[in-house]
């Protein structure tokens, strides 16, 4: 029997080599460690009930804080106006230089003096005492025509003398003294006492009493050459500046608000802070608080701005529109400035909440800010202006930033009275500079800024 050919042997050899290679590969695969299974995509799990409860409680406290804040503003404003004479005077004293208010005072005071003197009867009495009808009958007949002319001239003289006095620098002192003397009676406004410089009757009519002002003006009128001012009797005229329906409820509300005026603002602040702290995602809570402050501030600020036109329309027949706008602006100027402060605070809170998040943009902004602070710290170090040991303390106790800013805020609120929109802008710049100074003294800490444990997710 013939053996296998050479070609068959070579084919069989190739088959054996392939089998050998397959067996070797199988042995190597078995000896190698089994690869880790690919990680599965994380499935977001619903938040735990405790986290949901904290989030709900945080948002609830923030909403309550922003709802209470307007009441706190009114209560604080009323409390300061009642208890602080300097604040009360500073609010209304600038009205003495307003042309519209000056014209209103001259007009109302002239009418009140004319009515009190009864100018027509006074002139007629003077002519009767000077002219003898029996000896000078023609002159007596002429006095009937001369009397009204002299009375008109007397009225012109009264108005001219009042205008001179009211437009002089001395009137601002008289006005301020009258305000200061009657400040003690401001409480009586809400207690239905109509004897003060400002009164509100049961129908809700708000009026400024002219008697204290005219009493102060009488010596100035005599000095200005109007000697009849000595014979001006007591004047009971008033200037109506507003009408407040349901005055009984307003008085009750005022009484309650002035009682808690020193406490309610702190309650609103504490509610906002606790709401942010309790919320499991603080950046998100800060954004919510900032948004609510922004919205409430814009709405109330807009209502205050529109209220001037409404007030002018309601009492247009009693007080000129320009004078109403000036008085309304003086009474609501500080509240409008507070609303602007809320808007600014809301914008800052929203920006801070966004920057504290984990987005790429927030991380980049934090790195850029840290770099700027570090460069500023390096310049201070180069000049020897950064005390040794202070950076370490500020890095270790970063919470010191808030007492630092709080102390500056209190100082600004004490010195900037009454608060104006320009004060809000200036105060914001000062607080921003104080925060930047704290950051430069501490130095940039980009590592801390990127620590995921320190930056809750938004």
Confidence (pLDDT) at 157: 82
Mean of pLDDT values over 428-449: 76
Confidence (pLDDT) at 98: 86
Confidence (pLDDT) at 458: 38
* Radius of gyration for the alpha carbons in the chain, expressed in angstroms and rounded: 40
Closest Cα to residue 119, out of 85, 159, 84?
Answer: 159
Judge whether 335 and 418 are in contact, CB under 8 Å. no
Mean of pLDDT values over 206-214: 68
Lowest mean pLDDT among 198-202, 214-218, 364-368, 374-378: 198-202
The proportion of the chain whose per-residue pLDDT surpasses 70, expressed as a percent, equals 69
The residue ranges of every structural domain in the chain are 81-254, 357-458
Bigger pLDDT: 320 vs 173 = 173
Looking at the predicted structure, is the pLDDT value of residue 455 above 50?
A: no
**How would residue 138 be classed by pLDDT, with cut points 50, 70 and 90?**
low
Q: N- to C-terminal Cα distance for the chain?
A: 88
Mean of pLDDT values over 335-360: 84
Confidence (pLDDT) at 454: 43
Judge whether 294 and 343 are in contact, CB under 8 Å. yes
Mean of pLDDT values over 290-310: 83
Give the integer Cα–Cα distance in Å for 221 and 160: 10
Bigger pLDDT: 408 vs 308 = 408
State the DSSP string of 155-209.
HHHHHHHHHHHHTSHHHHHHHHHHHHHHGGGHHHHTTT-TTSSEEE-TT-EEEEE
Residue with tokens 């460069």: 375
Residue with tokens 């307007």: 70
At 148-195, the pLDDT tens digits run: 777 778 788 888 888 888 888 878 888 887 777 766 666 665 665 555
Residue 334 host element (H or E): helix 321-355
Mean of pLDDT values over 30-51: 55
Judge whether 158 and 214 are in contact, CB under 8 Å. no
pTM assigned to the model: 0.60
**How would residue 290 be classed by pLDDT, with cut points 50, 70 and 90?**
confident
Bigger pLDDT: 280 vs 312 = 280
**How would residue 197 be classed by pLDDT, with cut points 50, 70 and 90?**
low
Mean pLDDT across the chain, nearest whole number? 74
Most confident range (mean pLDDT) of 249-263, 309-323, 380-394 is 380-394
3-class DSSP state of 124:
helix
Give the integer Cα–Cα distance in Å for 443 and 457: 24
Q: Other CB atoms closer than 10 Å to residue 411's CB: what's the count? A: 12
Most confident range (mean pLDDT) of 44-48, 119-123, 205-209 is 119-123
Six-digit token string for 127:
């002519």
Confidence (pLDDT) at 321: 74
Provide the 8-state DSSP code for 231. G
At 116-128, the pLDDT tens digits run: 777 777 777 766 6
Helices (H), 190-315: 211-223, 247-259, 264-278, 282-314
Angle between helices 99-117 and 211-223 (to 10 degrees): 90
Give the integer Cα–Cα distance in Å for 258 and 71: 11
At 392-429, the pLDDT tens digits run: 888 888 788 888 888 888 888 788 777 778 888 888 89
Confidence (pLDDT) at 235: 67
Closest Cα to residue 237, out of 215, 259, 267, 265?
Answer: 215
Looking at the predicted structure, is the pLDDT value of residue 440 above 60?
A: yes
């Amino acid at each position: 029997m013939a053996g296998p050919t050479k070609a068959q042997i070579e084919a069989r050899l190739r088959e054996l080599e392939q089998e050998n290679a397959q067996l070797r590969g199988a042995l190597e695969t078995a000896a190698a460690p089994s690869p880790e299974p690919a990680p599965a995509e994380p499935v977001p799990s619903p938040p735990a009930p405790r986290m949901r409860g904290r989030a709900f409680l945080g948002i609830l406290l923030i909403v309550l804080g922003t709802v209470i804040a307007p009441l706190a503003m009114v209560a604080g404003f009323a409390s300061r106006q009642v208890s602080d004479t300097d604040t009360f005077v500073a609010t209304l004293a600038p009205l003495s230089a307003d042309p519209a208010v000056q014209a209103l005072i001259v007009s109302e005071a002239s009418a009140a003096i004319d009515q009190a003197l009864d100018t027509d009867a006074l002139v007629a009495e003077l002519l009767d005492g000077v002219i003898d009808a029996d000896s000078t009958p023609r002159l007596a007949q002429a006095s009937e025509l001369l009397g009204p002319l002299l009375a008109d001239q007397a009225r012109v003289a009264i108005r001219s003398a009042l205008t001179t006095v009211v437009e002089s620098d001395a009137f601002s002192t008289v006005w301020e003294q009258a305000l200061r003397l009657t400040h003690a009676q401001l409480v009586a406004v809400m207690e239905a006492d109509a004897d003060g410089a400002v009164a509100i009757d049961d129908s809700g009519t708000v009026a400024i009493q002219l008697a204290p002002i005219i009493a102060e003006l009488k010596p100035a009128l005599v000095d200005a050459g109007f000697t009849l001012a000595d014979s001006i009797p007591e004047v009971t005229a008033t200037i109506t500046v507003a009408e407040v329906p349901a005055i009984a409820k307003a008085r009750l509300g005022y009484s309650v608000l002035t009682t808690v005026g020193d406490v309610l603002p702190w309650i609103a602040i504490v509610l906002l802070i606790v709401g942010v702290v309790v919320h499991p995602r603080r950046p998100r809570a800060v954004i919510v608080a900032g948004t609510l402050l922004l919205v409430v501030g814009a709405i109330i600020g807009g209502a205050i701005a529109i209220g001037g036109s409404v007030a002018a329309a309601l009492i247009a027949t009693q007080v000129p529109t320009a004078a109403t706008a000036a008085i309304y602006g003086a009474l609501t100027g500080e509240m409008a400035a507070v609303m602007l402060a809320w808007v600014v605070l809301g914008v800052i809170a929203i920006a801070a909440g966004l920057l504290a998040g984990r987005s790429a943009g927030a991380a980049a902004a934090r790195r850029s800010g840290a770099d700027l602070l570090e460069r500023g710290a390096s310049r201070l170090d180069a000049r020897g202006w950064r005390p040794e040991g202070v950076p370490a303390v500020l890095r270790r106790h970063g919470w010191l930033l808030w007492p630092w800013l709080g102390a500056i805020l209190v100082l600004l609120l004490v010195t900037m009275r009454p608060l104006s929109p320009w004060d809000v802008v200036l105060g914001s710049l000062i607080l921003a500079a104080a925060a930047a100074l704290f950051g430069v003294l501490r130095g940039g800490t980009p590592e801390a800024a990127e620590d995921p444990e320190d930056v809750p997710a938004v």
